[in-house]
Structure 1
Amino acid sequence: MAKLDIFNPVWLDVVFTGRNQAYGAYVLRKENAKTTNKSLVIGAICFILLVSSPLIAAKIKSLMGEKEEEQERIIETEVVLSTPPPVDEQAPPPPPAAEPPKPRVDQVRFPPPVVVPAEQVREEEPPSQEELAVKDPGQKTIEGDPNAEVRIDQPVGEAPPTQQAAVVEDNGVYEVANIEVQPEFPGGMNKFYEYVGKSYNYPAAAKEQGVSGRVILNFVVEKDGSLTDIKVVRDLGMGTGEEAIRVLKKSKKWNPGIQNGRPVRVSYTIPIVLNLEAQ
């Protein structure tokens, strides 16, 4: 009896000999070993997951926190667009071109030869050799002035004069979206925000109150790249706007905006993101 193994599957066939083996008890007892092993494996997996779930949750939370912190560190650049200045219709027109002086010698019209179709040929007699002997050829017949001063550096008669336009200095302030080349901090805007991050001193009152958010500033980039007329468009209070103005005043000169090949004054709006957790 000591060697009798009542758990041996052979005994099932002995017990159920001549009986209905399709009955549920026979099947359950025959599959008992497989079912027990399967239950142990599933139970072990569930136990391991239950024990390690706090660690998995903490790891996921840590990864999500890093992504949120990365997103908070991203500094956005906003450009406020405004309508261009209205056209002054009452402004006086430019002065007409100066009339060139009369020639010293009479001038007779001598149009240059032009090849045209026969139907476009105009009946116009060219000046005779006798006229050309005493008169100069030109675009229009003009009576000369014997008292006129002989000048070889100026056009005479009806030839279109070379008129040099007066250079007018442009001191208007352009919007950043309306110019050909926008102003930029030397090295790019990433370098500018690196400078802001190193130079900005978080006000103590703002730290105590947990102030975070965006301070929006507007300033003018002058023709020489200096920043003037610095204003706080949106302030978070507690000295955050004043500190932002101080940082911009200490900034190195920018590359100025270019319009029609010349440096111009440009109005620029920019946000500075304050993140107390990153301090």
Structure 2
Amino acid sequence: MKRLNNQRIAELHRFLEKSGLSETLLPELLDHLSCEAEERMWDGESLEEVLDSIQQKVDSETLKRLNLERKNLLAIHDSLTDIVFENRNKSYGAYALRKDYGGHVQRATLIGVGIFLLIFMLPQLYARLNTDPSPDEIGFEVEFSPLTIKPESKPKPPVADQAAAPKNVKTIRFLPPLILSDGLVPEEQVPPTVEAIGQSQIGTETQDGEEVFTELRIPPAEIVQRPSVVEIAPEEEKELLFAEQQPEFLGGQEELVRYLQKNLTYPGRAARAGIEGKVFVEFTVGADGKVKNARTVKGIGFGCDEEAIRVIQRMPDWRPGRQAGRPVAVRFTMPITFYLD
């Protein structure tokens, strides 16, 4: 196989160096082109033809594009730090800190995990090293053995000696009455007295013997507690402003006008001062029809207010108002007019 001499290789190196190839790409491309030239020379081509063909094929534009692609491929493998600090001052210190950042994070993670495991395992290590148990950690084992429980035999209560009945008890004849016909009625017998029955036992025959006194025990009477009487205060009479059936003066509205004209006296002070107007009097007609709680709502003074209240208080009983059929108290407001002829 024919080989290129050093002079021809130097020519190729200068040709590639003029294209601005990177230092990493130049040796690789020079080796590749030298091998291709030697193979073509082996096939019978002359050295000049091979070099001219290579220079035409590998022009400057192709070499620049190839150099750019080479840089892109190398950038993929470079770290982010190298890309950031490319063409910058790497001896400033920031480059070293950023380059060692991954190692610092790794060491910090390992130290943190170690401290966590140490804290987690510390109680168990302390328990293994400290073999003396504390009083609170001492356990007690309790064994239970089966027990046979027999019920206690209760002593039988002593049987009270029954009092021997007297052999000869005094009895008195007292039979229930029977309804018989006239022929079967025996001789009349006098019934025993209450005292005799109390000192003897009732029987079918009367015989002498020991007297028996029967003690009668009367149970105490139950004490019945009577419920205490609670006095209920009478409900206050509620005053309504309006009822289903309003109170009415006996005789109607005409009689009311006649009553006012007859009993109303014009005060002298108001007459001398020429005072005229209306006095509004508020009063209550109770459930019994009586007029009460009269007061002046709006007056004109000069004795007219007092005169209006006097006439209202001296009114006869009204017919009371009714609500749901029941008499109720109703509040009224009545205007009384004072005017001079």
Question: With structure 2 as the length reference, what TM-score do the two structures score?
Answer: 0.31
Q: Which has the higher helix share?
A: 2
Greater RCO between the two (CA within 8 Å, min separation 6)?
1
Greater radius of gyration (CA): 2
